[in-house]
Amino acid sequence: MPEPEEATRHVFVYGTLRCGERNDIARYRPLPLFVGTASIDACLYDLGAYPGIVLGAGGRVVGEVYRITAAVEAALDILEEVKADGSGEYRRREVPVVVAGQALNCLVYEIHPERLSGRPAIVGGDWCRR
């Protein structure tokens, strides 16, 4: 009897989880599957060693979309310090992202607004080109 296929979701990554960055998503297992590059309506902020976004802020943020398993999603929640009550460093959101002409619902980690005080926006919305 074949193994049941594990449920998957999509995630949009825009900072240190991008390919080649210090928390490259490729370090997680099972290996996330690259779907494509995309951009979303948000503003990107420089928090020092990593960025944060605010969704729907009128800018464009560049990132990558990956298909991930529940195990990888749980690991990302730990990395991003997501808390069920919304008080963590990041909040997990779900937004539609167009990748290669196809709309996919993607998880996006949005920074908690209290962490943005005095932080500059990254002009151009691309963490890798800051």
What is the bridge-based pairing of β-strands 51-69 and 33-46?
Answer: antiparallel
The Cα–Cα gap between 1 and 21 comes to 40
Q: Single out the catalytic residue among 3, 80, 81, 89.
A: 80
- Dihedral pair phi/psi, residue 107, rounded to 5°: -70, 140
How many Cβ atoms sit within 10 Å of the Cβ of residue 102?
A: 10
**In the annotation, is 114 catalytic?**
no
The tokens of 2 are what?
């074949």
- Dihedral pair phi/psi, residue 84, rounded to 5°: -60, -30
Residue 65: name the closest of 25, 13, 128, 129 by CA: 13
- Dihedral pair phi/psi, residue 129, rounded to 5°: -115, 20
Residues with a catalytic annotation lie at 80
